[in-house]
Chains A and B, each alone.
Chain A
């Protein structure tokens, strides 16, 4: 009886710890930097985009002009989705030019920086 009770207590504690870990993993907010600046890696060179609107995981949109560097937030350690809408002269999204870039935070390096021209080039068209 005592062994059974001990096992039940142990299982409850394990469930609590696991639930805690899951909540921490899924709920932790990470700040990272988005920069709309020129990108160069080897032979590949990309210039900054004129004006883009960024949305991380369907959150509040953020507008970045050429040369802008800003900070944004992604919640959880899983794969995140950055939607990049190219803006026209009136700062309205240009239809057919939006792309989605999927990334993991650990791919952003130690400085947690994401280059927007690179993300736009690597992203997939929005269907």
Chain B
């Protein structure tokens, strides 16, 4: 009886990754992709996206849910890359310089985001989502009208023909794969971006270490119960702001790593999808709004992107139209996100009801006595 209950709980808790594994397993044979191709694709996408997804763990630890405001960090990373492209700083030095430029910007953006989210306690996710839209407008205003006019940008390769504003697409050829190809490793014809994985590994170690620090413990306490943390002397609001700042800074690095792999910067669009894709990956990996681990990140990135790669081709071979597979992927992927968020809200509601019932039960017992 107990084991069947455990199995049921396991299935409920891991419903999302299980659905993804089943759908992907069914779609792989139809897609007709070779194992080598899929492994290579997964390794590339794992190295490209993991850092961005990992940046979401800190705010979850602090009980702030999924940080849709990570697009602010992505914007900071992109601004760093624009400057580096203008100054013609190439290779790994350019990448590090872009990160250095992005850091203070991301700190400021993260601080603004954290302060706003503190004003909207309990509704952090929707607030950060809308804040992302707002800051997107500011970003577009600055990059489209400020760069070249107020902010000095001299390269004609970057500027629009009117003399100010950054072009829609920037070629990052001088930075392309400079981290991925830093340490070349090839096993059985499959290229492994060792340096990028090393950076991701260091980040994972940082998160493990950070959880054990005073600040990490404060964040966990804040995430579990703000009132209790407050009464224990933890500066709750400050801790929450710090968690968002850390997440935003790491997201800016994540976006730089992402774009060096892609090799092209869509000035006005690249950051928009960063948050949604990262959050979708994390949820697909079995994380929830209040609980996420490093394992969730890697499982999620693999499953989400496996679906990305496989479903258009599976759709093409099954129905003759790749677009149907793509529609299916979009439907399943974002349906899963909605389901995960609804499940979380439902669980929270159920927990609250149970706690209330428990409280009433205790009170009625006291009255009876």
Q: Residues on A close to B: CB < 8 A?
A: 16, 19-20, 22-24, 26-30, 75-76
Contact = CB atoms under 8 A, between A and B. Distances in A.
A22 to B, nearest CB: 8
Interface string B64-92: 00000000000000000000000111111
Question: Chain A at the B interface: mostly helix, strand, loop or mixed?
Answer: helix
Contacts of B100: 16, 19-20, 23
Contacts, number: 39
Closest 10 CB pairs of A and B: A27-B93, A23-B97, A27-B89, A23-B93, A20-B100, A29-B90, A29-B88, A23-B96, A27-B94, A26-B93
A28 B96 contact: no
22 contacts: A16-B100, A16-B103, A19-B96, A20-B101, A22-B93, A23-B89, A23-B94, A23-B97, A24-B87, A24-B89, A26-B93, A27-B89, A27-B90, A27-B92, A28-B88, A28-B90, A29-B88, A29-B90, A29-B174, A75-B90, A75-B91, A76-B93
A18 to B, nearest CB: 10
Contacts of A28: 87-90
A29 B89 contact: yes
Contacts of B97: 20, 23-24, 27
A38 to B, nearest CB: 31
B198 to A, nearest CB: 19
Contacts of A29: 88-90, 174
Contacts of B87: 24, 28
Interface in B262-293: none
Contacts of B88: 28-30
Nearest to A22: B93
Nearest to B175: A27
A29 B100 CA distance: 18
A12 to B, nearest CB: 10
Nearest to B104: A16
B104 to A, nearest CB: 8
Contacts of A76: 93
A2 to B, nearest CB: 16
A22 B93 CA distance: 8
A16 B102 CA distance: 11
A16 B104 CA distance: 10
A23 B92 CA distance: 8
Given A19-B96, A20-B97, A27 B91 contact: yes
A24 B87 CA distance: 8
Contacts of A26: 93
Nearest to B87: A28
A21 B137 CA distance: 31
Contacts of A16: 100, 103
Given A19-B96, A22-B93, A76-B93, 10 more contacts: A24-B87, A26-B93, A27-B89, A27-B90, A27-B92, A27-B93, A27-B94, A27-B96, A28-B87, A29-B89
A13 to B, nearest CB: 9
A23 B100 CA distance: 10
